[in-house]
A and B are shown apart, each in its own frame.
Chain A
Amino acid sequence: MDQTREILLEVKGLEAGYGKRKVLYNISLGIHSGEIVGLIGHNGAGKSTTLRSIFGLVVPSRGQVFYMNREVTFASCAEKLGLGICHMPQENFLFNDLTIRDNLEMAYFTMENSSTFGSKAKEVYELFPVLGRRQGQLAGTLSGGERRMLGIGMGLLRQPKLFLMDEPSSGLSPVIFQSVIQVIQKINSLGTSVFLVEQNVKVAFKVSQRVYVMKAGSIILEETGKKLLERGEWWDLF
């Protein structure tokens, strides 16, 4: 890990699961300020659960999560949002029966100062003009790409320092996904660190400075994106 940049998120020995079913076994990783870090692995390896336990949707049974050197292992989602962390799930990341504007409003709900919503929403519309044009449209009627834009927009409203993204490519055509990647790179350049779970590993390697590889609930490899891309062959990672 790069010692020169400050550590934003540190996870030590994390174990978590659903009821008795353990899914994560001794997960340790770190994310620096300003980084894009990738997380890849076969389906069911525990990638989504890793994000969800970091964010607090799943309560870890063991281990610790540190954010800016503060322990946040058992902090609630609301608290983590307040600290500048946000999480976009892989599926069901929108309220289908609510409009675009209402979805954004819900994402801003727990902010103390709700009057600033208007200006923050405007910023999101500048980033995604198509959303701005159709504010009153029901989220359930949007196309795949538009849905993903809205999901990212909902995360960006609070200008997070750390954005946990779960497979933003799912449901998108390669072309649309490319524009989503450009957005991710843009927000990264503006200071948001991204922890990116991705199915499309080549893109993950290209866009991430470092990548963790998971298999059956454990991390089996940590490597720079560049080196992994150079490999050319990745079947053994799955």
Chain B
Amino acid sequence: MDYILHILIFILIYASLVQSLNLIMGYAGVVSMCHAIFSGIGAYTAALISIHLGYNFLVGMAVGFLLAGVTGALLALPSLRVRDEYLIVFTIGFQMVMFELMLTARGITEGQGGITNIPAPALLGLEFNSPYSFLPLALGITIVCFIIAWRVIHSPFGRVLKAIREDESACRALGKNSLRFKVLVFALGGGLAAIGGSTLAYYLTFISPFSFSVDISIFLIVMVVMGGAANFWGPLVGAAILVGLPEVLRFIPGTADIIDVLREFLYGIILMLFMLFRPQGILPEYLGRKQKLTLPGSKALQELGDNQAIETPRPLDEKNISLPAVEIQGLSKSFGGLQAVKDVSLTLPFGKITGLIGPNGCGKTTVFNLITGHLIPNGGTVYIRGKDMTNKPPYRVVSSGLARSWQDVRIFNGMTVLENVLVARPNQTGESLLSLIFKPWRVAEEEKENIRKAFEYLNLVGLQEKADQLAVSLSPTEQKLIALSRLLATECPILLLDEPTAALDLESVKRIINLIKKIAKQKQKTVLLVEHNLDVVRGLVENAYFMSDGEILAHGQIHELIADPKLAEVYFGIE
């Protein structure tokens, strides 16, 4: 009986560890090969504090949590700036280095032999020093970890994590500072792992570096993957199977001495077979194409969305009309020796659609990227609504009121249509971890309001019926509508549209033109449109800039530009 309790405790502890890794790997999409180290930090901290300082186990756990959290953040900060392959290398390196330290820093960790005689946890007179008494404690700790994970996952913060996993660039272009999110999830995941590790220390009353080796880190990865990455119950399933099953093996005669090897072999085979035949794991992230909207009151809000009357436009603010929304002066950019953009100046008048046209390779996309902060200019200035936004990163540009769409759409395939639009909503209190803890009511209120607005924008493009479907399952035209809706949801008054009708057939092009026209007018958006299909330009644009070879050659109304023989020569070529 004790033995079964022992296994259950292990399953619970590992479930917490795996859930903490799930946050990093499953939800944020970052592979970490060093997760066992965070668990180790928790274990050693708890052990040392309890032994040398004699404080209650909760103190040891709390300090371990903080220490691991800080370590996670420090590791993540430099690592997350580099390419994915390098991150794997970094985490492997961190695992190896820390393991070596655990073995060799005998003064602190007592090296190979490990630390023994860790005092069993005690609270209010109760001592948890047997499997029977420890089980409720382990259960309680695991429940707490799971609740924390639940709160984070089903929150605006968790939503941004998923968006980062799906397409980090697109997520940044919606105004999210993705680095901050990734660092925080590493910190939180590390901290929760530390809690699991300290629980292990208090249960076994003995720890050694070998509980936190690279084998264990890999073991945790196998459990995440097998249970189902980005599924909330996946960690429990993974832990139950991979901790429980090898124990069953013990009862098979003759396996006693080879059980370790057999276990390793099974882990490896399971990992390989799952990657080949079921990479999503036992419990996939979403079951089925349609997702139950788990957001509160969503059904009622959906109906509310259907009955939304078309908003009457606010009267144009006199002051706004005279000031240009965007003013660009003397922008330049060169790549190596090639000057892509030379001394480009343009002005976007408030509330109007301006076009940017020119032959292929004239530098339109580069100008775009310079305005939005995806490229750093070599010279010149970008003023957005009177503020200097030159050289600012994309998420700052978005918060100043300018957002962009992508030629290749870039919606978040693995999220629902509604989530795609919701993630774009600005200033979400729920994106701050501290607010999730201390201001839960504000977060809930905002979420309700954001859902209402999201449905409003889905309504505008006619996608409200499909709000609960995964974005990947919609047609390409519908996906462009999702992107448009998402862009509007940012509430940015200035929109940069990058070839919004690319890869659409003639009919769909007409529909999108009309939709953009209607929305831009209704919402008084200032738009800069880059398009190669001149039908679109003619249909939408009042004024346009003509670019060639990195320079602005002309500016004026479309019919004026078309009538200019010099521009025709540039566009159609010289004989």
Asked whether any CB of A lies within 8 Å of a CB of B in the complex, the reply is yes
Q: Which residues of A contact B (CB under 8 A)?
A: 17, 20-23, 25, 42-46, 167, 169-171, 174, 198-204, 206, 215-218, 233-235, 238
- Could you say which residues of chain B place their CB within 8 Å of the CB of A202? 572-575
Question: Which secondary structure characterizes the binding site on chain A?
Answer: loop
Q: Is the CB of A238 within 8 A of B534?
A: yes
Residue of A17, A44, A217, A234 touching B572 (CB-CB under 8 A): A234
Interface positions, chain B 540-575, Cβ under 8 Å from A, are 562, 568, 571-575
- Asked whether, in the complex, the Cβ of A235 is within 8 Å of the Cβ of B533, the reply is no
Give CA–CA (A174, B476) in the complex, Å: 38
Question: How far is it, in angstroms, between the C-alpha of A171 and the C-alpha of B338 when the chains are bound?
Answer: 11
Give chain A residues whose Cβ lies under 8 Å from the Cβ of B445: none
Q: How far is the CB of B503 from chain A (nearest CB, A)?
A: 5
Structural contact, A22 and B572, CB atoms closer than 8 A: no
When distances are taken between beta carbons in the complex, the residues of chain B under 8 Å from A216 are: 501, 504-506, 509, 533, 535
9 contacts between A and B (CB under 8 A): A42-B534, A44-B503, A174-B573, A199-B359, A203-B573, A204-B573, A216-B501, A217-B505, A235-B562
Choose among B499, B532, B575 the residue that contacts A238 (Cβ–Cβ < 8 A). B532
Set of chain A residues within 8 Å of B574, measured between Cβ atoms: 174, 200, 202
Question: How far, in whole Å, are A71 and B532 apart by their CA atoms in the complex?
Answer: 34
Q: Which residue of A lies closest to B535 (CB)?
A: A215
User: For chain B, what secondary structure do more than half of its interface residues adopt (helix, strand, loop), or is it mixed?
Assistant: loop
B360 within 8 A of A: yes
In the complex, besides A218-B506, A235-B562, 7 extra interface pairs with C-beta distance below 8 angstroms are A44-B532, A44-B533, A45-B532, A174-B574, A200-B572, A215-B535, A234-B568
How many angstroms between the C-alpha atoms of A23 and B509 in the bound complex? 12
B359 adjacent to A20 (CB under 8 Å): no
Whole-angstrom CA separation of A203 from B571 in the bound complex: 12
**Nearest CB in chain A to that of B504: its residue:** A216
B533:A169 contact, CB within 8 angstroms: no
Q: Which of B407, B506, B532, B573 contacts A201 (CB 8 A)?
A: B573
Shortest C-beta distance, A49 to chain B (Å), equals 9
Find chain A residues with CB under 8 A from B575 CB: 202-203, 206
Is B505 a contact partner of A218 (Cβ separation < 8 A)?
yes
With both chains docked as a complex, state the minimum distance between the C-beta of B340 and any C-beta of chain A, in angstroms. 13
Known: A20-B475, A44-B502, A206-B575. A199 touches B533 (CB 8 A): no
Residues of A within 8 A of B361 (CB): 170-171
Which residues of the partner chain B approach A21 to less than 8 Å between Cβ atoms? Answer: 476, 503
Identity of the chain B residue whose Cβ is nearest the Cβ of A49 in the assembled complex: B503
Tell me the complex Cα distance, A193–B470, Å: 47
- Chain B residues whose CB sits within 8 angstroms of the CB of A238 once the complex forms: 532-534, 571
Residue of B whose beta carbon sits closest to that of A217: B505
Chain B residues in the interface with A (C-beta under 8 A): 359-361, 407, 475-476, 499, 501-506, 509, 532-535, 562, 568, 571-575
> CA of A21 to CA of B508 in the docked complex: distance in angstroms?
13
Q: Shortest distance in angstroms between B508's beta carbon and chain A's nearest beta carbon?
A: 8
B475 and chain A: residue at smallest CB distance: A20
Provide the residues of chain A in CB contact with B505, threshold 8 Å.
Answer: 22, 25, 216-218
Q: A201-B572, A202-B574, A238-B534 are in contact. Are A215 and B506 (CB under 8 A)?
A: yes
Known contacts A25-B505, A169-B573, A199-B573, A235 near B534 by CB under 8 Å: yes
CB distance from A166 to the nearest CB of B (A): 11
Contact B573 A215 (CB under 8 A): no
By beta carbon, the residue of chain A nearest B537 is: A238
Closest to B574 in A: A174
Chain A residues lying within 8 Å of B504, measured Cβ to Cβ, are 216-217
Q: Which residue of B lies closest to A220 (CB)?
A: B506
Smallest CB gap from A20: residue in B: B476
Residues on the A chain within 8 Å of B533, using CB: 42, 44-45, 215-216, 238
A23 touches B573 (CB 8 A): no
Q: Which residues of A contact B534 (CB under 8 A)?
A: 42, 235, 238
Nearest residue in B to A234 (C-beta to C-beta)? Answer: B572
CB distance from A80 to the nearest CB of B (A): 25
Question: Complex formed: what's the CA distance from A129 to B501 in Å?
Answer: 44
A215–chain B nearest beta-carbon distance, Å = 7
Report Cα–Cα, A25/B505, bound state, in Å: 7
Which residues of chain B come closer than 8 Å to A233, judged between CB atoms?
568
Q: How far is the CA of A174 from the CA of B361 in the complex (A)?
A: 15
Instruction: Write out the residue numbers on chain B whose beta carbons fall within 8 Å of the beta carbon of A20.
Output: 475-476
**Distance in Å: Cβ of B257 to nearest Cβ of chain A:** 52
Q: Which residues of chain B have C-beta atoms less than 8 A from A174's C-beta?
A: 573-574
Residue on A with the closest CB to B472?
A: A20
Residues on B with beta carbons closer than 8 Å to the beta carbon of A23: 503
Report the bound CA distance from A171 to B360 in whole Å.
Answer: 10
Contact of B360 among A17, A46, A170, A234 (CB under 8 A): A170
The distance from the CB of A51 to the nearest CB of chain B, in whole angstroms, is: 15
Residues of B within 8 A of A170 (CB): 360-361
CB contacts (< 8 Å) of A25 on chain B: these are 505-506
Q: How far is the CA of A164 from the CA of B250 in the complex (A)?
A: 67
